[in-house]
Amino acid sequence: MKIPDIKTIEHLLRSNKAELFEYLRDYDTSLRSTDTIEVLHFEYGVKILYQHEEGSKPYKTRVYLNKMEDTDLLR
């Protein structure tokens, strides 16, 4: 089994959808080549919705948060 290089959240946020899909396919064994992902950007990171080709709703959700300083969390 190939172990992919772990990428930082900053790199994932800058990736286009195709690069992100390939990274997730290497990293997550539940993602199939026929699946699709939807990337939703929000203030504190991104949310990725996994959806089967024939599915009407996502079967999995992953959230990647931006790195924050401790002082930002106290506001």
pLDDT band for position 74 (50/70/90)?
low
Name the pTM for this structure.
0.69
What's the Rg (C-alpha) of the chain? 14
- Rounded Cα–Cα distance for residues 49 and 35 (Å): 10
**Residue spans per domain, the chain:** 9-73
Q: How far is CA 22 from the centre of its chain?
A: 11
* pLDDT digit string, tens, across residues 29-67: 888 888 988 988 888 788 989 999 888 899 999 888 877
CB 68 within 8 A of CB 47: no
- Rounded Cα–Cα distance for residues 37 and 12 (Å): 14
